[in-house]
Each structure stands twice: as structure tokens, then as C-alpha cells.
Amino acid sequence: MPVPATASPTTAPAPATTPATVRRLPRAVAAAGAVLATVCVLLPLPASATGGPAAVPATVERSQAHRTVLQVRPAYVDPASDAATAARTARAEGRPGDARLLEKVAAQSTARWLGPADGTARVRAYAQAAVAAGTTPVVVTYAIPDRDCGSHSGGGIATPAEYRAWVDAVAAGLAGARAVVVVEPDALLHLDRCGDRGARLAMLRYSVDAYAAVGAEVYLDGASSNSFGWSARHLADIAQRLRDAGVDRAAGFAVNTSNFQTGAQEVAYGERLSALVGGAGFVVDTSRNGNGPLAGPNGTVWCNPEGRALGNPPRATGTGPHVADLWLKTPGRSDGTCNGGPAAGRFWEAYLLGLAARAAW
């Protein structure tokens, strides 16, 4: 089933002090933080009868080895993905060159974005298709009130109570699937830009607990090196936001979601951030970062920048807190009506063909 357009990935604007069409590049990369002797691991708890969290998940001390379910069961490759559907159409229309590029994308796993229209039955159908294939469903929840602060991907569920009910419905659909869940991209980045801070943090904590309670591996969104910056103050800020949102009860956090920063940049950022939040694991979105970011006259172009490329294929890395590269953003889904793109979340085949053609693999 296709991802609803209103629930598809788009790179959110930078904070209010930066022009809305750009994100600024850091001027220097500081050395990685000190290696921690111990970190925390999530212990999944059984779901309650209502589908909500049965209890607050516990954290326990563990050895320095970081683990992810993706080491055992790779991420699900959806045969009905945008790229797979477009590849079949290209073959039928006699466009073999385009078909080969689209098939290259279709062979990789891409996260499924869940929005307000996704209820228990729809989520369960997707999750169980992944389980039947011996793989892991990877989903991104994207329905929080004041989503994207009303920008290109604005929308979301109206009230906190309705949002919690939606989270319970999604959790019920994921029960037993050992899913990987990335919770609400940009929700922490936008924490002080729109909506109620306390209410948003409470909703994120509720999400972490609900998904962990049904056995999911949960990652909060930790923005990117280009979103928050590298100063001690900026790193401490996002680390505190992650703690306030319940990262101690999650598997960790995600970086570079729907962004274009290089893998090396994001791994360095993630390692420094991990050291500030108890050594939590993190995943990197590599869906479109093969050529890194595009520098514009006012900073980094975040919305449908030209000349970008697919990054590393999804994989479990097995390297310290950096547990996996994932394609969280759906390659080929527009960031918004900018740089020639259609509305946010709409499939844009021409852009996807460019990403695939410029990939280094």
C-alpha cells in the first residue's frame, strides 16, 4: 500500500533564525566524544490489553556491544513500493534504461511512513508481510499535532488525546513483528517553534513506551549535524530534548532523516550525541546523501536539491553505537513544491531517476 501523501517524508525547515529554504553547514567538525564504558539497552515489555504501554520500559546496564534486530533480519523490501511499481511500468512502456535504474532502487528496503489514515489493520498487514518474508518492518510515524509546524508537510492529528489513541492503534498493528520504529521526524527540532512543548514531549514519551511495549526497536529523531550545529551548547540542547522525550527507554535515535549530509558527517555527529545520552545506538538515513548536501547562496538547499544521489544501501553496520544505515526518506518522494517538485510526499520519477543514475554503486 502506498504511503499517504500527507504522511510522507520531507526535510523540515531550519530554525526560525535561518531562511526557510536553507539549512546551514557547520564550519568545522570537532573530535568525537569520549568512549563510554557502558550503555543502556531497551527491554521490550508485553502490551496491555488496550494496546497501550503496559508499563514504562526499563533500562539496564549492558556491555559496549550495540545490537539491532536488523543484524538478524534485514529490513523489508516492499514489492509494491513506488520504485517497484514505476519499474514495472517502465518495462511495459519499453523504457529499459529507466527500468534498470528504478529496479536498482526497488531492490533496497525503504521505510514505510505512517500518517493519520494508517490504523491497526493497515499497519498489521504491512508488518505481517515483512514477517512472512523473514524480514523486519521499518516504519516512521508522522502524525503528531502541529506536524512540520504547518509547512510543506503540515497536518497531523488534532489533539494529544487523539494522537495517543492513534499511537495505540499503530502499536497494536506492530505487535509481534519486532519492528524498527523511527518516531516523528523533526518533532524535537521544532520543539520550541510551534505547539505546546510539554504536551509534545509527553506525546513522544508515550510513543516510545507504547511501541517498546509491543517489542519494537524504537528510535527518536535526533535531527542532523546541519540542523543543530556542533557547538557544545547545541549538542547539549538536542541531547536534553532526547532525554526529555524518553531516549533512555528507547533503542536510541535517528539522524539525517530526509536530509543530505554525508555518512561520515552524520556518524561523527551521532557518536558525539550518543556520548551525551548514555551511549544510545543510532541509525543514519542514507537514502539521498550519496553526493552530500548542495550549498546554496544562503546555506544548504534542503528542498529537492538538484544533483543529489542515493547513499549507502540499507544495512546493519555492526560498528559501535552506529547500528544501521537505513533509507528513511522514500527516494523519489518530493520535499515540497520547490525546485520543480510536486507537493510534499508525491512521487517524482524524474528526481528518483537522477538519484539512481548518480549513485556510486
Would you give the distance in Å from CA 58 to the centre of its chain?
24
Yes or no: say if 71 and 242 are a contact pair by the CB < 8 Å rule: no
- For residue 127, is it left (φ>0), alpha (ψ between -120 and 50) or beta? alpha
* Phi, psi of 175, deg, nearest 5: -55, 130
Query: Pick the catalytic residue: 78, 98, 148, 335?
Result: 148
Other C-beta atoms closer than 10 Å to the C-beta of 55 total: 10
Q: What is the DSSP string of 224-278?
A: -HHHH-SSHHHHHHHHHHHHHTTGGGSSEEEESTT----HHHHHHHHHHHHHHTT
Closest to 181 in 3D by CA, of 130, 140, 222, 147: 140
Q: Indicate if 148 belongs to the active site.
A: yes
DSSP state of 338: S
Q: Which H helix or E strand runs over 102?
A: helix 96-106
- The span from the first CA to the last CA of the chain, in angstroms, equals 28
Catalytic residues: 148
